Amino acid sequence: MTIEPWADAQLSEDIPRLAQGGESETVEFKRELPKQVRDLAKEIAAFASSSGGRLLLGVADDGSIPGVENAHDPAVRDDLGRRIVGVCQIIDPPVRPQIGWTSANGLGVLVITVEKGSEPLYYVDSRAYIRHGTVYRPATASEVRAALTASMPGEAAEGPKNHPELSALADVLANVRRWSDTDSEMRSLKPWIEDWSADAEVYASKLRDLSVSDWAIESHVNERLEATAEKLDEVAQFRHYLGEGENFNDVCNSAGFAAAELMGSPRFQCNK
């Protein structure tokens, strides 16, 4: 097997084995770069939210290796590398994968290696994505709660019953994210718009109750809880007029972003 000087020798030796092994929870094949870059961002976000993995660009679904067209051209390799870096900036928080090239008898394959992220979940367009078998998909509300709870030091060992504030907070934030992930046109229609406004008022009240708890004050998240409650107040108090659907979506998205930041905050932890 001839390995080009621009290719990683170890990766080049691994590619035939990975291709023959087929797609899995940690391996994804792409014949070519997706036309919709957000689809690639979702794939990468899902790997970061789950167990990490490798995305092989230039490998077909059946495991054959047609390679990346004109991979021998440095300009083509550089352009693809820049595009991958740009795609990763769409992800919230951004992901920084390792990008490497392999070659086998003149055929180039781009290998994107994604480590499991340090944050509980990774988002594209305010929606968390996870890897499930050989596909990526949006995380459900219960999966968001589970990821949030698992990220809290001491929570897994002690259990939710010893930290009722965390359990209550996980439930509120997961529901806020679920609402903010709802299709924008749907949440601007009756009866969903009234339901969302009513729920936002309830969630804001719950966050304020939590913000004055000993746990929140000791964990230094009380001010952030109050700030998120204020965002929910804007949703609950929004006055709906004809043609104001876009503005309502902005308010909803702002509340969703605040909830996402809380869920991913390194300060959001259980102090003993």
Q: What is the mean pLDDT of each run of 10 residues along the chain (272 residues)?
A: 88 92 96 91 96 96 94 95 93 92 88 94 87 92 75 49 70 76 62 76 90 85 90 82 59 80 55 37
Q: What tokens appear for 131 in the block? A: 């890897």
CATH number corresponding to 9-114: 3.30.950.30
Q: What is the pLDDT of residue 46?
A: 97
Q: What is the pLDDT of residue 20?
A: 94
Edge-to-edge, what's the strand order for the sheet holding 27-30? 27-30, 53-57, 107-114, 98-104
Q: What tokens appear for 240 in the block? A: 């709906």
Q: How far apart are CA 13 and CA 7, in angstroms?
A: 11
Nearest CA to 119 out of 187, 28, 52, 37 is that of 52
Residue 106: phi, psi to the nearest 5? Answer: 90, -5
pTM for the complete prediction? Answer: 0.65
Q: How far apart are CA 236 and CA 219, in angstroms?
A: 27
Q: What is the pLDDT of residue 81?
A: 94
Evaluate the omega torsion of the peptide bond into residue 93 and state whether it is cis, within 30 degrees of 0. yes
C-beta separation of 251 from 271 below 8 A: no
45 by Cβ neighbours in 10 Å (0-12 / 13-18 / 19+) ranks as buried
The residues, any chain, with a CB within 8 Å of residue 169's CB and separated by 6 or more, are 207, 210, 225
Q: What is the pLDDT of residue 192?
A: 63
Q: What tokens appear for 171 in the block? A: 């439930």
Q: DSSP per residue over the chain, as a string?
A: ----TTS-HHHHHHHHHHHHH--BTTEEEESS--SSHHHHHHHHHHHHHTT-EEEEET--TTS-----TTTTSHHHHHHHHHHHHHHHTTSBS----EEEEEEETTEEEEEEEEPPPSSS-EEETTEEEEEETTEEEEPPHHHHHHHHHHTSTTHHHH-GGG-HHHHHHHHHHHHHHHHHHS-TTGGGSTTHHHHHHHHHHHHHHHHHHHHTSHHHHHHT-HHHHHHHHHHHHHHHHPPP-TT-HHHHHHHHHHHHHHHHHHHH-TT-----
Break the chain into its structural domains and give their ranges. 9-114, 140-264
Nearest CA to 120 out of 221, 266, 264 is that of 264
